[in-house]
Amino acid sequence: MGKGRAPCCDKSRVKRGPWSPAEDLRLITFIQKHGHENWRALPKQAGLLRCGKSCRLRWINYLRPDVKRGNFSKEEEDTIIMLHQTLGNKWSKIASHLPGRTDNEIKNVWNTNLKKKLAVKDDEEHPKGDESKESSSTSSSSSSTSTIVSSGKGTLEMELDEQKNQGSSTKKPRILENVQDSTPREVSNHQFWPTKKPNELSSSSISSNNSNITNSSQVDVSKPEDDRKGSLLNIRGLYDVHSSLEEVNKPEEIGVEIPLESDYDFWNMLDSLSSFQSGGIQLQNVEAGQSSKFGDAYNNGEVENKKWLRYLENELGLDATKDETHNLSKNVAETLVPENFQYEIPLKPAEVHPGTIGNFHLWPSL
DNA sequence: AACAATCTCAACCGCATACCT
DNA sequence: TAGGTATGCGGTTGAGATTGT
């Protein structure tokens, strides 16, 4: 410790900023296939121009199959508030009690929502002149009551006890019964994994092999794929409940395996699509060679690829008759890829559903 | 419609800690 | 035990979205 620390990566050589769908897919595919035993080496192995840290973060906060998105339920908010009283800004610990929620998300919700809510409540309880106002909503809370909300259970209680025993006595519990209804946040429209109302998504429903997952650090995908069949890219459940979209039929136990090193043309195609998406390049300008390249690779018969592409088609319900947007993108996609593979290409993020593949949201709308 | 103010949240940064040799 | 390295964590930032004027 302490000594000069080598930078985690060469910042000048890594890409930064928002992730493209191709990068996402590449990361997911790699982890699905190889796990993530070494984050530092992962980007290179996966062919990503990203810092390992960035990959880890992206995975944990966004791409993991068990990430729950959308509004926090009242219960979740109460739990966060309660835990925050005891644990302070230990977001990862708090997250461990909220299956599917990430520390980053909880931190954001706290800073943008719950903190204010509590401040307002404090104002009501301790009208002006009360110096505890701001600090009482933070980890250095000095609220005066000892009533604690009773939504916590099991390990949560144990942890709270533990915290108390460890002498975190500076944090006193807060009365929560007056906390107002949680202001419903917009459901994030960038979905890769299922969006369900919090109450609908029990941790056990996330995926067959992830039933014990409770937080990011507990997701064990460091094992190779064979140990995790049915978890990553087992796209059942990888659907979005976006209002205008229908759920597609999902086979129960199919683990999708996306070809990785086996087909660089595929990745080139994706890269070209994402650069098209982000750079506004006219589709017609996508090199014809690229499409035929991909087509050749496809036709050359990588059986795995075929299986995957066919599965994707079926899985994603990429039915040409879906809607106008899809028809448009279908035409686009057909110029790039063989008949059986369709990829929805957002032309302008504001006009179509960016980051969607059929009914599946793939990356954040930017 | 245009602009400003505010909000949201994904991603980055740097430190702390764990682990390995 | 010391030093080096990888990962985890919490604070912060900034771009895009939303809301208000």
**pLDDT per position as a tens digit, A59-77:** 988 888 888 878 888 888 8
Q: Which nucleotides of C are covered by protein (CB under 7 A)?
A: 3-12, 15-18
pLDDT at A265: 59
Spanning CA of A114 to C1' of C16, the rounded length in angstroms is 22
Q: Cα dist. A340→A61, A308, A336 in Å?
A: 32, 11, 11
Structure tokens at A36: 């993530």
CA A286, C1' C11: Å apart? 42
Q: Which residue's alpha carbon is at the shortest distance from the C1' of C14?
A: A17
Which nucleotide is the nearest neighbour of A187, by CA and C1'? B8
Return the higher-pLDDT residue of A182 and A30: A30
Q: Where are the beta strands (DSSP E) in chain A?
A: 356-357, 360-361
* CA of A223, C1' of B20: distance in angstroms: 20
Q: What is the separation of C-alpha A304 from the centre of its chain, rounded to a whole number of angstroms?
A: 27
| Cβ atoms A294, A337 nearer than 8 A | yes
Strand nucleotide closest to residue A40 (CA to C1'): C6
Which nucleotide is nearest, taking the CA of residue A108 and each C1'?
Answer: B9
d(CA A238, CA A245) in angstroms, rounded, equals: 13
The crossing angle, in degrees rounded to 10, of helices A21-34 and A264-279 is 150
DSSP state of A56: H
CA of residue A8 to C1' of nucleotide B19, angstroms: 17
Count of Cβ atoms closer than 10 Å to residue A133 Cβ: 15
pLDDT (0 to 100) of residue A163: 54
Distance of CA A278 to the CA centre of its chain: 20
**Helix, strand, coil share of chain A (percent; to 5):** 45, 0, 55
Report the distance from CA of residue A188 to the C1' of nucleotide B9 in Å, as an integer.
10
Nucleotides in B strand less than 7 A from protein CB = 7-19
Q: Which nucleotide is nearest to A55 (CA to C1')?
A: B11
Distance in Å, residue A60 CA to nucleotide B17 C1': 19
This prediction's pTM: 0.59
Residue–nucleotide distance: A19 CA to C15 C1' (Å): 14
Q: Cα A115 vs. chain centroid, distance in angstroms?
A: 24
Q: Nearest Cα to A85, choosing from A37, A144, A129?
A: A144
Q: Which residues touch strand C (CB under 7 A)?
A: A 1, 3, 5-6, 8, 37-40, 52-53, 56-57, 89-93, 103-104, 107-108, 111, 139, 186, 216-217, 349-350, 365-366
**Interatomic CA–C1' length for residue A59 and nucleotide B17, angstroms:** 21
More confident position, A41 or A250 = A41
Name the closest nucleotide to A7, judged by C1' and CA.
B14
Report pLDDT for A183. 37
Amino acid identity for residue A183 in this structure: T
Between A9-18, A34-43, A103-112, A310-319, the lowest mean confidence (pLDDT) is in A310-319
Q: CA A162, C1' B18: Å apart?
A: 22
pLDDT given for residue A158 in this prediction: 56
Position A161 scores a pLDDT of 54
A360 strand-pairing partners: A357
Confidence of residue A112 (pLDDT cuts 50, 70, 90): confident
Nearest protein residue to nucleotide C6, judged by CA and C1' positions: A40
CB atoms within 10 A of CB A299: 11
Whether the per-residue pLDDT at A79 is higher than 70: the answer is yes
Concatenated DSSP letters of A7-43: -SS-GGGS--SSPPHHHHHHHHHHHHHH--S-TTTHH
Q: Which residue has the higher pLDDT, A72 or A301?
A: A72
Q: What is the average pLDDT score of chain A?
A: 54
Could you tell me the distance in Å between the CA of residue A1 and the C1' of nucleotide C1?
13
Neighbours of A212 (CB within 10 A): 12
